[in-house]
Structure 1
Amino acid sequence: PGPAKQYLSRVLLEKLAETDLKSAFSYAEGLPKLRSRQQALVVVASTWARSDRLGAINWANSIANERFREEVMNSLITVIGASNPEAGLDLAEAEGLFNSQTWGWTYTEIFANFAAVDPQAAVDRAMTLTNVDQRFGALREIMQTWSRQDPQGALKWLETFQSGNKDQLVSTVFRNWAEKDFDSAFLYVTQISDIKTKNNLLYTLGEELAQEDPNAAIALANSMPDGLLRTQLLGDIVRGWIERSPEEALKYIEGLPAGIEKNKILNAVVGRLSYSDPWSAMELAEKIPNGIYRMAGEITGGLIRKEGSQVALDWIDTLPDGSAKWRALQSIGWQLARNDPEVSVAYVDKISPGTARDNFIRNIASSWAQQDAFAAADWLMTLADGKAKQDAFNSINWQMANQNPEMALEYAEAMGKGDTQNNLLQRIAQNMVESDISQAEEWFRQLPGGDLKDHAMQGIVNGMMRSDPYRAAVFISEQPAGDAQSRLAVSVAGQWAQDDPDAAAEWAGSFTGDVRKQAISSVVSHWSRQDPLAAGEWVYSLPHDDSRENALQNYVSSTTWQYPEYAAAYATAIEDEKTRHNSIKNVANNWLRSDPDGTAAWLKRTDLPEEGKKEILDRIAKQK
């Protein structure tokens, strides 16, 4: 199977890299598909980093493709950070990735490893992060680790921490502490004087205690003052309790005095109970104002699982037309089609036309198609044309193409022209490419010209772009000029630029006229976000024509927000005066936030009218 083969290939490549690095690189670089080649090179470099960190880093820095270089560097950071967290973070910072948009679980995992060795040093390093979300993610992982070793030490540090996320970090510490030593954690909480903090932590402890002793957790919740927090905790406790011991939980609920708190607890319980005992859930829901309305979907799902499709449908029939019935139909459609498609199809005629019926049809088709896409398609063909039929077909076209592409093509040819046929053709073509590119190209060549062939072209290109952007580019270049070729050229140029901007740029420049202008702009839009320096130099080197002017405008627009200093270098080269002046204003207004002096010096050298300059310079002066 695919995943097993990929795993085995990775293991073997790692072994080869450990013993013969040169041969491992030779193998990886010889792979024909770009993405497979890149993935193999990442494996080799990561293995290399375990024995020669500096050598692997130097190799990664030699990669010309900025996006791939960053991918390799992230992998090296992961490997290095696993054994030496501080070194991994140092590398991330040196490479400019420490606060970048590529931040993810890799770095938070490194901080967790760091905390296991030196939690104080780990939090000190985390506090240097300027991105608030990233800093919180790192601190959360540190607290997870620190609280298992020394919860009171973690809490002592949190006393000095001032942030809106502080309560979440404190809760993390107490949750871990309670798992290890509930009594000590509870004693600590009872000595807290701040009522809000105390109640929040009692809530955390109550959730932990409920897993072992619901009655004790109820007693703890009842010790809290009346309010939303106490009610939420009681609901959480009873919701878990009813799964483990429904009779005891229901007895507790029956003993509660009537009122808002009881209703809220019932709301929390009904949804959970619906899955195991829908009839009891129904009885409880009837005791809550609008309970059936709110819980109709959950109850219906439970009835299907416990009693079967027909019982669930009979119950839905007892509901009056309105929101409760709509919720029930939303819930039942996919389950009903999976278990009993014939019953679900027959029930469609009982539903009044409208959104509920349309959604029910789509849910039936999607679920049925998982077992037999063409049986679902045959049923859809019997329905009247309209949005419901089109949406349902769109939800199953990928399953039709996967299960039997030849039969799917017959369906597509039998359909009338329109979006439904177009979407199915695109999916069939994409599926063929993913199975056998050469066979897909041969099939495409035999198609008659026209809309059908144009939409098949879209699907083939979509499939090629996932594995071989160069082949997609060659394929498009071979097609006759026209709207379909133009549209796809622009799309492929932009997508290809994410992996190989130099190649994409050269290819985009090979076109003429409006296609060239749009394709170049598409490349610039993506390239400028990855490597603004290289993208800007390339745009500036273009021949002075409409394509260059359009590319300059696109480059400045794409870089103004994130890289205003680069945008400034090219905004003044825009030939259209009105566009140039507007671009200069936009660049200045963004740049002044980070470098007011640099902005002012640059602005004075531009040809922006004095009135416009004065307005921005006055703003800079006030900012100082």
Structure 2
Amino acid sequence: MNHGRLYAILFFVSIGLGMVFPLQVSKKHGSIDAVSSSQIPKNKRREKSEKSSDFASSSDLARYLGDLNKIDGVEKALLQFSRFNASSSRVDRAMGTALIAQAAAQDPQKVFDYFKGDWRRIPQGAKETLFNVWVKLEPERAISEVSSQRNGAFKQEAEALLFTAFCEKAPSKALEIMNKSGASISNIANFTSLDPSYQIFFNMSITDRSKCLSSLDLISDPKMRENALQGMVRGIARTNILDSINFASSIQDKDMRKSLVGTAFQEGLSIDPEAAISLLKESGSYLKENERSEILKSNIGPLLAYKADENFDLVMSSVASAVDRQKVEEVMLNQLLASDPSMAYSKILKYHPEVLSEKEAIQGLSPELQALALQAKGASDPKSLVEWAQKNQGVVSNKILQQALAKAGRVDPQSILEFATQNIPGASQQNFAGDVLSQWFQDDPQKAALWTKEHLTSDSSLTETLAERTVSDFIRKSPETFLQSFSQEDYINAKNLQDFQIATLQWSLKDPAAAAAWADNLGAGQLHDAAIEQISKNWVEQDSMSASTWIKALPYGEARQVAIRNMVNYLEKVDPVAAADWQGELDSKPQKNQ
């Protein structure tokens, strides 16, 4: 095997195994961009290598590469490919694609003929590999062979694959094909997400920028020209952000220029945020201040996803206008609140050091920043937010304060509820405290139950309406926890017998055996009898055999008689003979329970 062929095989093996990722999706165009690993930021390279380690171990790779070396000839390679292709293993399928690279390097025509016989069953990756190798080795023959096929879906897909391979491997040739084919190029959209002009000029700008610039005149269609320019701007940015920005800012059309400059910075911010932001600060000759802030706002996500601490400060230092800086800061703080509340709080204190210690400082902020500052404080330290709220009544609107307290309630609901019951009046208390309690029931029903129990059975400032709401939420979430959290005296004293019955109903529908075991331990009394009645009624309808064992073991008394009546009523509908036997049990005189 010669070195050139070996290189081709190893390259496509690496693609098949996911060891290198030379493709990047363009969000704007839905296209796939070729990128060398050296152009990927270090953090992204690390992420990709981590993903690839899940795909195939080094021992798998060594074993399969050893197998490849033993395969000689296209026919044997294709035979082995068919076996790999039938496997559900991702490693096997990837190695099948590697075999296609090997076979195509020897005779792409034979591989194409083999594919034609079973086209629908051939994986997309294997098809793409064939055409990538073919256009590298025999571009003219590949064109001739595909062109000679009969018109139809197969030919259209083959043309799309061939053209896509040219876009990546030989963009100049792809441009020539596109200009000759004219409208027929639109067929590609049926088989690939690539935009032809975008992809051609993206790759050409990386491999041959001067030819790329001279080839622009060949694109007359306005939409295709716009896509070509977008591809060029992104491609140039991969190697030199400043060149990309300069090229974008040289475009005469005002709207187009604005869009392309935004694209250049977007690409630059994803590759080298520090360099891109530095250039953005110097962009006054072709970007207005509000345009710079819009570019930053639209790219906050990727900026804060990596090195959030440093990039937050970079962005803040790059915006001169106080109004625009505030807008960008709001976007960044919102994102940090979701991912790292402590960092959000530290940034608030860094850029607004007196905001939570002096009334005038927080009142000087926009309502949005007021809300973010208090939310960050509450998420980081709920008790300190409560202390601030107690000392600063009326400094901010009730809406802003309650929003911050509600978010803090996810971290420390007890502190927030105690503040609410003492400081928030009337209906607002019911709504606010009810929301916090409902969320607490979702997060930690056991602790929520203990707090609820204390306030339902004492002279609390919580109203009866709020108590009813919280109990119903609790029952809906976890009826068994509700029932196990209260004593019989709690239900009777709080006049919650109806809640008890509803919870028993819910639990008996969910798990009648567990509910029955709990009821057996209640001891004689009103609640015990009510539980036995409710559980037996539901259980006999779900599983009469299991229910019958439990009912027969119940102590003689009114509760047992009620349970037997429930069994008789059910069996009369489905098994009258068995119902008669149970009726005899009901009519028999009470005896000592055995």
Q: Which residue of 2 aligns with 1:45?
A: none
Change in 2 beyond 3 A, CA 1:622/1:489:
farther
Q: TM-score, length-normalised on structure 2?
A: 0.52
Q: Select the structure with the greater relative contact order (CA < 8 A; seq sep ≥ 6).
A: 2
Q: Which residue of 2 aligns with 1:311?
A: 213
Q: Which residue of 2 aligns with 1:258?
A: 149
Change in 2 beyond 3 A, CA 1:180/1:336:
closer
Partner Cα separation in structure 1 for residue 228 and residue 483 of structure 2: 57
Change in 2 beyond 3 A, CA 1:614/1:368:
same
Partner Cα separation in structure 2 for residue 607 and residue 596 of structure 1: 14
Change in 2 beyond 3 A, CA 1:204/1:433:
closer
Q: Which residue of 2 aligns with 1:295?
A: 195
> Does the alignment pair 1:411 with 2:322?
yes
Q: Which residue of 2 aligns with 1:441?
A: 353
> Does the alignment pair 1:484 with 2:400?
yes
Greater Cα shift, 326-335 or 539-548: 326-335
**Superposition deviation, residue 235 in structure 1:** 1.7
Give the secondary structure class of the aligned counterpart of 2:393.
coil
Within the candidate set 96, 100, 104, 1:206 is matched to 96
**Superposition deviation, residue 246 in structure 1:** 1.6
Count of aligned pairs = 431
> Does the alignment pair 1:178 with 2:64?
yes
8 Å contact from structure 1 (residues 521, 550) kept in 2: yes
> Does the alignment pair 1:236 with 2:128?
yes
Q: Which residue of 2 aligns with 1:75?
A: none
8 Å contact from structure 2 (residues 156, 188) kept in 1: no
Q: Give CA-to-partner distance per residue, 1:1-41, whole Å, 9 cap, x none.
A: xxxxxxxxxxxxxxxxxxxxxxxxxxxxxxxxxxxxxxxxx
Letter in 2 for 1:258: Q
Partner Cα separation in structure 1 for residue 216 and residue 136 of structure 2: 26
**Superposition deviation, residue 471 in structure 1:** 4.8
8 Å contact from structure 1 (residues 521, 554) kept in 2: no
**Superposition deviation, residue 412 in structure 1:** 1.6
Letter in 1 for 2:372: G
Q: Which residue of 2 aligns with 1:552?
A: 471
Partner Cα separation in structure 1 for residue 154 and residue 514 of structure 2: 61
Give the secondary structure class of the aligned counterpart of 1:318.
coil
Give the secondary structure class of the aligned counterpart of 2:353.
helix
**Superposition deviation, residue 490 in structure 1:** 0.7
**Superposition deviation, residue 207 in structure 1:** 1.0
**Superposition deviation, residue 227 in structure 1:** 2.6
Matching of residues 74-473 of structure 1 within 5 Å: 178-182=64-68, 197=86, 205-215=95-105, 219=110, 222-223=113-114, 225-230=117-122, 232=124, 234-238=126-130, 240-241=132-133, 246-248=136-138, 251-252=141-142, 254-256=144-146, 257-259=148-150, 260-271=153-164, 273-285=166-178, 289-290=185-186, 294-296=194-196, 297-308=198-209, 311=213, 314=216, 318-321=220-223, 338=241, 339-345=243-249, 347=251, 349=253, 351=255, 363=263, 366-367=266-267, 370=273, 371-372=276-277, 373-375=280-282, 381=288, 392=295, 394-395=297-298, 402-403=313-314, 405=316, 408=319, 410-412=321-323, 423=331, 433-434=345-346, 437=349, 440-442=352-354, 445=358, 450=363, 452-461=365-374, 463-464=376-377, 471=384
8 Å contact from structure 2 (residues 81, 99) kept in 1: no
Give the secondary structure class of the aligned counterpart of 1:480.
coil
Give the secondary structure class of the aligned counterpart of 2:352.
helix
Root mean square deviation, CA, Å: 6.1
Q: Which residue of 2 aligns with 1:566?
A: 481
Within the candidate set 517, 523, 541, 2:454 is matched to 541
Q: Give CA-to-partner distance per residue, 1:273-332, whole Å, 9 cap, x none.
A: 4345322233455656415764333223224334559839946962244xx567557656
Partner Cα separation in structure 2 for residue 582 and residue 360 of structure 1: 67
8 Å contact from structure 1 (residues 285, 292) kept in 2: no
Change in 2 beyond 3 A, CA 1:432/1:403:
farther
Q: Give CA-to-partner distance per residue, 1:33-76, whole Å, 9 cap, x none.
A: xxxxxxxxxxxxxxxxxxxxxxxxxxxxxxxxxxxxxxxxxxxx
Q: Which residue of 2 aligns with 1:36?
A: none
Change in 2 beyond 3 A, CA 1:433/1:599:
closer
**Superposition deviation, residue 483 in structure 1:** 1.7
**Superposition deviation, residue 255 in structure 1:** 3.3
Partner Cα separation in structure 1 for residue 348 and residue 323 of structure 2: 20
Letter in 1 for 2:136: P
8 Å contact from structure 2 (residues 441, 473) kept in 1: no
8 Å contact from structure 1 (residues 300, 331) kept in 2: yes
Matching of residues 514-533 of structure 1 within 5 Å: 517=430, 520-521=433-434, 523-524=436-437, 527-533=440-446
Q: Give CA-to-partner distance per residue, 1:450-493, whole Å, 9 cap, x none.
A: 58343223333455567656555555555434221111111122
Partner Cα separation in structure 2 for residue 621 and residue 359 of structure 1: 71
**Superposition deviation, residue 537 in structure 1:** 2.5
Letter in 2 for 1:552: V
Gaps of 5+ in 1: 1-139, 149-172
Q: Which residue of 2 aligns with 1:512?
A: 424
Change in 2 beyond 3 A, CA 1:463/1:226:
same
8 Å contact from structure 2 (residues 300, 332) kept in 1: yes
Change in 2 beyond 3 A, CA 1:401/1:237:
closer
Give the secondary structure class of the aligned counterpart of 2:149.
coil
Q: Which residue of 2 aligns with 1:112?
A: none
Partner Cα separation in structure 2 for residue 190 and residue 582 of structure 1: 69
Name which one, 1 or 2, has greater alpha-carbon Rg: 2
Partner Cα separation in structure 2 for residue 271 and residue 427 of structure 1: 38
Matching of residues 27-46 of structure 1 within 5 Å: none
**Superposition deviation, residue 390 in structure 1:** 8.7
Change in 2 beyond 3 A, CA 1:534/1:438:
same
Partner Cα separation in structure 1 for residue 261 and residue 124 of structure 2: 37
Give the secondary structure class of the aligned counterpart of 2:199.
helix
Partner Cα separation in structure 2 for residue 209 and residue 230 of structure 1: 13
